[in-house]
Structure 1
Amino acid sequence: MIELYCKRLIEKAEELENPSDCTDEIREAAVGLMFATGWCGDLPELLFARAILTDKFGNDFASAAKNGTNIVDPMLVWKFTGNAINMELKNKVAKEIATKNMILPNFSKMTKENEEW
């Protein structure tokens, strides 16, 4: 999805000269890319693109994109945030299984960087 957003923005770069006249398609690509940057900060190109888009669309648009709520494609939000939800579900199921087998689980050593089982 990120690649498609980048291609769309490149193809329609001339529309970015006047952001108030941008189509919904361009706004969707811009907000999606800006949201993704928060989750893929290790890609300097995305950070650079976010800076350009923030300059074009403004800080309010950038803040809304960062949150993602009701403005970013729900599929993109789910793809980036789904792991946190999946981890909570995994912990819940593991606790239920442990309780049934009289085991005390300890998830305190798990960190966000190490959420793979």
Structure 2
Amino acid sequence: MLALDIIELYCKRLIEPAAKLDKPKESSDDIREAVAGIMFAARWCGDLPELLVARDLLADKFGSDFTTNAKEGTGIVDPMLVWKLSGDKTNMELKKKMTKDIAIENNIWVQSSNKK
């Protein structure tokens, strides 16, 4: 449910500034995050074929490098969305990155262990 809430938020975030999507280099980080999130979610939400259409339209505007990173869940794709959609397939690196990001936001030093 949280993943769907995030996707809905991204869709709403893109509706208002839709005209600005023709100039992706001028898009704010919020818009770029929303676009990347929708592109990533399209892969995981087969029951929402509209996301595939949106991904294709956005890919034409934002280019292949951006699209590749978004589809893979890297770059500016929200790690929470990646984690929620990919379920058990989430690797330990993503969990470490999320932990590190949360720690940085809260000024907490975290030492990661290389032990398995």
How does the TM-score come out when normalised to structure 1?
0.68
Q: Distance in 2 between matches of 1:59 and 1:34?
A: 12
Instruction: Say if 2:1 is the partner of 1:17.
Output: no
Q: Aligned letter for 1:16?
A: L
Aligned to 1:76: 81
Aligned-residue sequence identity (percent) comes to: 64
CA distance in structure 2 between the aligned counterparts of 1:58 and 1:69, rounded to whole angstroms: 15
Shift of 1:69: 2.3
Larger Rg: 1
Q: Deviations over 1:46-96 (max 9, x none)?
A: 0110011000001111100011124210110110112335xxxxxxxxxxx
Give the alignment's Cα RMSD to 1 decimal: 1.6
Q: Residue 7 of structure 1 is aligned with which of 12, 25, 39?
A: 12
Change over 3 Å in CA distance of 1:70–1:56 after alignment to 2:
closer
Q: How does 1:1-117 map to 2 (within 5 A)?
A: 1-85=6-90
Following the alignment from structure 1 to structure 2, what is the Cα–Cα distance between the partners of residues 18 and 69? Answer: 22
TM-score (norm 2): 0.69
Q: Deviations over 1:2-56 (max 9, x none)?
A: 0010011111102102111000010000000000001013322101100110000
Q: Distance in 1 between matches of 2:68 and 2:7?
A: 19
Q: Where do 4+ consecutive residues of structure 1 move more than 6 Å? A: none
